[in-house]
């Protein structure tokens, strides 16, 4: 599996799935969430409202992920995940790692082979870019080699994912991710 980092706009990525750093309501917001909702068009909001009425009446929990179509995006799917908010005392590294692994699992379930991630929980949610980069890269690498714990049925994570791209909105975040990618595997 190829893992790379690039500076750019996640809404323009030519990948099967883009990951939305959503809030638990799934009804849009600022930053990456607002940009994805704007670029995907009004059908994305309706799909999210439908999820809230049916599967997720209490919202999407921190660290979990759910998929909708990409609608007007180049990507076929949007994987929505809710990162922990450092500013609200949500500081568990495992919760942030779960955002990456659950998003990969959901992408595999819909047949995606390429996926683009933002710096989940960086920015408005207050996590340091260096920490997000280290957790993101470590989580994706561990998932790719199946070193994550097996689920309750004993299955390790299947992987049809050939490309993981971290798409960063700023030079400092890109630098943090490039350093994390260059670091030796642990």
Side-chain-side CA neighbours of residue 71 (13 Å):
16
Q: Which of 9, 14, 16, 33 is catalytic?
A: 33
The single residue listed with the structure tokens 């490039």 is: 178
Measured distance CA(14)–CA(18) in Å, rounded: 9
CA dihedral sign of residues 74, 75, 76, 78: negative
Measured distance CA(5)–CA(122) in Å, rounded: 15
Told to judge if 33 belongs to the known catalytic residues of this protein, a careful annotator would answer yes
Active site residue ranges: 33
């Amino acid at each position: 599996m190829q893992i790379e980092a690039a500076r750019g706009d996640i809404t323009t990525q030519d990948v099967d799935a883009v990951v939305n750093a959503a809030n638990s309501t799934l009804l849009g917001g600022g930053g990456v969430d607002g940009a994805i909702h704007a670029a995907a068009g009004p059908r994305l909001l309706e799909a999210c409202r439908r999820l809230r009425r049916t599967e997720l009446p209490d919202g999407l929990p921190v660290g979990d992920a759910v998929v909708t179509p990409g609608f007007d995006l180049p990507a076929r799917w949007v994987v929505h995940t809710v990162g922990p908010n450092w500013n609200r005392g949500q500081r568990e590294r495992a919760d942030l790692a779960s955002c990456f692994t659950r998003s990969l699992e959901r992408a595999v379930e819909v047949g995606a082979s390429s996926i683009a991630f933002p710096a989940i929980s960086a920015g408005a949610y207050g996590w340091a870019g260096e920490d997000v980069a280290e957790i993101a890269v470590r989580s994706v690498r561990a998932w790719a080699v199946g070193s994550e714990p097996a689920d309750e049925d004993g299955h390790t994570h299947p992987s049809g994912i050939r490309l993981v791209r971290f798409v960063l909105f700023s030079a400092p975040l890109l630098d943090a991710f490039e350093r994390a990618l260059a670091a030796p595997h642990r």
